[in-house]
Amino acid sequence: MPNHDENFSIVLIINLAAFTYKSLSSRPVGWVVENILIFLMQNIYKKTAVILLMFNALGLSTKSFAQTKAIKQDKLYSGFKTTPDSVQTSVYWYWISGNVSKEGVVKDLESMKKIGINRAFIGNIGLDEIPYGKVKLFSDEWWDIMHTALKTATRLKIDIGIFNGPGWSQSGGPWVKPEQSMRYLTSSILAVKGPISLNKKLDQPQKQFQDVRIIAFPAPAGYGEHMASSFISSVPVDPHVNNLMDGNENTVYTIPNDPKPTVTIDAASPYTARSIVFYPVHKELRFEGEIQARDAAGNYQTVKHFVVDRSNTNLNVGFSPYSPAAISIPTTTSQSFRVVFTNGSQGSDIAELKISASPNVENYAEKTLAKMFQTPLPYWKEYQWQPQPVVDDPQYVINPQKVIDISKYMQADGTLKWDVPAGNWIIMRTGMTPTQVTNAPAPPEGRGLEIDKMSKQHIAEHFDAFLGQILKRIPAADRKSFKVTVEDSYETGSQNWTDDMLKNFKAKYGYDALPYLPVLNGSVVGSQDQSDRFLWDLRRFVADKVAYEYVGGLRDASHKHGLTTWLENYGHWGFPGEFLQYGGQSDEIGGEFWSEGDLGNIENRAASSSAHIYGKTKVSAESFTCAGGPFSRYPALMKQRGDRFFTEGINNTLLHVYVTQLADNRLPGSNAWFGNEFNRNNTWFYDMDMFISYIKRCNYMLRQGNYVADVAYFIGEDAPKMTGIRDPELPQGYSFDYINAEVLNGRAKVVNGKLVLPGGMSYRLLVLPKLATMRPELLKTITRLVNDGLAILGPKPERSPSLQNYGTADEEIKKMASALWGNIDSVLVKTHQYGKGLVINGMDMQQALDLLKVVPDCKFNTVDQALFIHRKLTDGDMYFVSNQTAQNIDINAAFRAKGKAPELWDATTGNCRNLLNYKQDGSITTVPLKLAAYESAFIIFRKPANSNPVKGENFPDQQVLVDVNTPWQVTFDAKRWGPTNQVTFDKLVDWTLRPEGDIKYYSGSAVYHNTFNIARIEKNKHLLLDLGQVKAMAKVKVNGIAVGGVWTAPYQLDVTAALKPGNNTVDIEVVNTWVNRLIGDSKLQPNERHTWTTVNPYKPESALEASGLTGPVTIKSVVY
């Protein structure tokens, strides 16, 4: 008997012969050859010998095929049609709460391979709200499973990344000792009066404490003193208002529910105030208002508006959750002060209010990173503060020249033996203490302190304690798949101190930070300006260290072991870095976007800009993250967001999330409150190969050539910084990147009037933000770049933000800025020629770009409908255009492409065709485009334009040939609790509208079968099967031949190759989501339910999801 391959070949020959017979009579030979190849690829893929045999039997050669479709030999198109393995689709692979097994991870990996996922990042996650399984982290069983996973991935050629510590954020574990952890500077204070021989044990501020320095300084005037109240009152009247100034932080005043609650504090005699400090109660709160003082005429005048935000008390947004809120005010003398609370302050609790003659560093908690931005999206303006009022009398501030180091006088037990000079002295015992932030969300066995992010040594120790153990314990041959060290988005808060900080700080800035240590407690040293500048240097130092020591340190440790790093270069909770520099230290950079909401608004530009300016080709994104609505989403609902962020530079998709499934066959299985269910138990998982193919094609194309951007927006030098700003805003039709000082100083040059970087990026215009500060080193760089031919837009800086070279640095800035900006006044004079370059200020972006003769790169004749991205190829240009609306759109796109004819490449199918209707005018080619709801297309300019182009429509009308409207025979899957017998649908309707419970609540696949007749098939026409509406995805066979599938609009397939004159059959396998079955089961008793899942919010009253094929189904013809 013939073997399996022989049986296959016989059947193939019979089918091919029938296909050839019906085709040859009405088709050109080239068409027949092309579609024979399609047929063979759909049925046998790599059966090369059989393919060649069939071509020879037809009297055709591979040469004749090559002549008919020369584009098939094109390397770019070949990679587009069949993406190479180097284009990896990745997935977060979460092992949650010990619910993991050897059998399960093997099945997980095999399922990934089957649909085209070829990289998985393992996260060992602990969610306390999900019952823990039997496999404990680091147990023998866990090690065996990890070994199995890496060995299986090696066999399947799936690359594995592992999060660098348990949990997804950030880098910690039980191996981290307090002295290796993230730490901040704290202190205890002792006031003494000299002369005296002091012999006293100094208070240790925290139990876990490492001494840094013991310092002393003469107490400034009014130090520690506060205004005493002779009378305090409130509107509305509240007897507890006296608690505000009773000296007891355990008593409380609650801001009442009143439109403008007011507290008035009267003194016995006029009092001169320079600061006000609120001490919040230890709970979440936010309040704001105005500080007023009564003038000589008896009227209350507003002195300062203030905001106190302690609305998030988690340690990952500040190691001092309830820190005092200091407000600096101009020196104000009055006998009566008033606080007027506004804007939703009601209900907040205040423990104490202190009005003082001593100045305070305003917002010192925020400026020292003790209290960070309270919500997930710190936009560009955050961590910027206005200059504070000048202290009118120097006796009220600490003189930095008189701060002395008395550390040598303290004994090992903390006893200080020091001869105190005459006068009032303040002694501060300063030292480091852990922030107490732990890695999260991690299993209990994997929880511990977060490692110091400012020490390469400690980072290497952390690597060795976790990933290093995996490398040691699992044989190298079995872990060849382990390639990547993973660092998720930063969610760990900040630190402001580390080992050898004073020495390294002085080496960087050239001055000693020791005299300024009191500033970390809010005391003013030298002046408000000097104190703020020191804290600016401190925050910049932290940002630099986090980039070079943490990201760079983990990269170096990984490289030692043959691994690379993958990093999301931003953080939603307490990010202390500068996002561009932070990402630049990693091998790969990733952004993030959710299926809905604001997350993604800044993260992906953060990633792509960092990649572009640091010369990295791949830009990843954690894609389609979500919360709520488990199992309710499917690829059609994801496309608009995915395409949007492709236009922002993403070209390496990482799916979120695959929760590992146990091998117990419970369905839908394990899930979480977050993430789309990209796992083997989801109804549409094995149908998403169509979606994966689309993603891969887009990723492949968007890595070709170089990204085209006309504008680089400088982000400033401040830190922390999670995004840039576009001010002035970029007009429609242009693209941009953010750029930082490090790249400008170290990587930029000017060539032919463009800012050029080593990775190939170039920009015509550099835009400076509306900041008054810039360090001299950067201004020298910008001056050189302008002199070499660069154009810049923005205001001139006025001073340095740093305390480095205090005084002389400001003079340098003023001198250089005066020369560079010349006589620009931004009103009458808006430009200044400097060297070969140009300085502009007082223009909007369009005016500036027009001045530079930069025409739009891609401009649509409509607004807010489509987005684009442009990449420059070696032999042309490539644009990706995305319809971001739920409607069909008809637009004219004016591309900055010259002398080339347009083609349309469709990433959903891998097909391409010429666009015949276009108009060229100078450097612009205008192309009419029609895109279905959320449809996208690559518009390619590589072929030389014809001086006499063939006329035709780019999107000719489609003619309906057949309405397939006879009754459909529908077969459901009885194993998924569908009807046992075939069901007749007289008309196509949503399953949820059917009366049968096993259809209304059905979740899974169902096959629709029907027949139709085509009288004849005309030459040179494409025949399309239009499915109308499908929820959620479908795969189709015509006459038994697989012709592909649909998952997004337009729900059409080119079925020309499979159709024949006369009777034809069509089988459409449609799959929906799990939602309806989960809702149906919620109506049953627990012991009657078919399904089980970890997180299931569905109730009997939950809305069902539209499902199935609702049509209308038609056969259409079109001529391209």
The structural domains of the chain, with segments of one domain joined by +, span 4-65, 89-129+137-178+454-471+478-491+557-701, 231-357, 706-851, 858-955, 960-1118
CA 617 to chain centre: 17
Q: What is the DSSP letter of 1119?
A: -
Structure tokens at 917: 């209707």
| 426: β partners | 191, 217
pLDDT at 67: 32
Residue 811 identity (one-letter amino acid): E
Residue 325 identity (one-letter amino acid): A
How far apart are the C-alpha atoms of 765 and 755, rounded to whole Å? 8
Which phi and psi (to 5°) does residue 857 adopt? -80, -40
How far apart are the C-alpha atoms of 454 and 819, rounded to whole Å? 39
User: Which residues are within 8 A (CB) of 207 and not within 5 positions of it... i.e. 6 or more apart?
Assistant: none
Contact (Cβ atoms closer than 8 angstroms) between residue 923 and residue 896: yes
pLDDT at 73: 66
Fold identical between 231-357 and 960-1118? Answer: yes
Residue with tokens 């507890």: 240
CATH fold group of domain 858-955: Immunoglobulin-like (2.60.40)
Q: How far is CA 1010 from CA 260, 891, 1002, in A?
A: 71, 37, 21
Give DSSP secondary structure letters for 485-503.
EEE----S----B-TTHHH
Measure the N-to-C terminal CA separation of the chain; round to a whole number of Å: 47
> Which strand (E) or helix (H) includes residue 121?
strand 117-125
CATH 1.10.3470 fits domain 706-851: no
CATH 3.30.450.40 fits domain 960-1118: no
The structural architecture, per CATH, of the domain 231-357 is Sandwich (2.60)
How far apart are the C-alpha atoms of 1017 and 1000, rounded to whole Å? 39
How far apart are the C-alpha atoms of 336 and 733, rounded to whole Å? 57
Residue with tokens 């993250």: 625
- The angle formed by the CA atoms of residues 324, 801 and 604, to the nearest 5 degrees, is 80
31-39 contacts, C-beta under 8 A, 24 or more apart = 32/58, 33/58, 33/60, 33/64, 33/65, 33/68, 34/65, 34/68, 34/69, 35/1056, 35/1057, 37/65, 38/1057, 39/15, 39/1041, 39/1057, 39/1058
How far apart are the C-alpha atoms of 663 and 669, rounded to whole Å? 10
Q: How far is CA 759 from CA 157, 567, 877, in A?
A: 30, 19, 18
User: Which residues are within 8 A (CB) of 112 and not within 5 positions of it... i.e. 6 or more apart?
Assistant: 91, 118, 120, 156, 158, 658
Classify 974 as helix, strand or coil: helix
Contact (Cβ atoms closer than 8 angstroms) between residue 898 and residue 923: yes
Classify 998 as helix, strand or coil: helix
Calculate the dihedral angle through the C-alpha atoms of 1038, 1041, 1047, 1050, rounding to the nearest 10 degrees: -50
Buried b (16+ CB within 10 A) or exposed e, 692-731: bbbbbbbbbbbbbbbbbbbbbbbbbbbbbbbbbbeebebe
- CATH assignment of 89-129+137-178+454-471+478-491+557-701? 3.20.20.80
Q: What is the mean pLDDT of each run of 10 residues along the chain (1120 residues)?
A: 38 40 39 44 37 34 35 84 96 98 98 98 97 97 98 98 98 98 98 98 97 98 94 96 96 95 97 98 96 98 97 97 98 98 92 98 98 96 97 97 98 97 98 98 98 98 98 98 98 97 98 98 98 98 98 98 98 97 98 96 98 98 97 98 98 98 92 97 98 98 98 98 98 98 98 97 98 98 98 98 98 98 98 98 98 98 97 98 98 97 98 96 97 98 87 94 98 97 98 98 98 94 98 98 98 98 98 98 96 97 98 96
Residue 733 identity (one-letter amino acid): G
Give DSSP secondary structure letters for 172-217.
B-TT--GGGB-EEEEEEEEEEEEEEEEEEEPPPSSSS-EEEEEEEE
pLDDT at 664: 80
DSSP-derived pairing of the beta strands 706-707 and 866-873: antiparallel
Classify 147 as helix, strand or coil: helix
pLDDT at 695: 98
How far apart are the C-alpha atoms of 654 and 588, rounded to whole Å? 12
> Which strand (E) or helix (H) includes residue 422?
strand 415-434
Residue 135 identity (one-letter amino acid): V
In 3D space, the residue among 859, 833, 869, 634 whose CA is nearest the CA of residue 736 turns out to be: 869
Burial class (CB in 10 A: 0-12, 13-18, 19+), 887: exposed
- Sign of the alpha-carbon torsion through 975, 980, 982, 985: negative
Burial class (CB in 10 A: 0-12, 13-18, 19+), 916: middle
- How many C-beta atoms surround the C-beta of residue 921 within 10 A? 9
Q: How far is CA 109 from CA 150, 568, 650, in A?
A: 10, 24, 25
Residue 653 identity (one-letter amino acid): T
Buried b (16+ CB within 10 A) or exposed e, 1088-1104: eeebbbbbbebeeeeeb
Give DSSP secondary structure letters for 523-581.
B-BS-HHHHHHHHHHHHHHHHHHIIIIIIHHHHHHHHHTT-EEEEE---SSS--SBHHH
Q: What is the pTM of this model?
A: 0.94
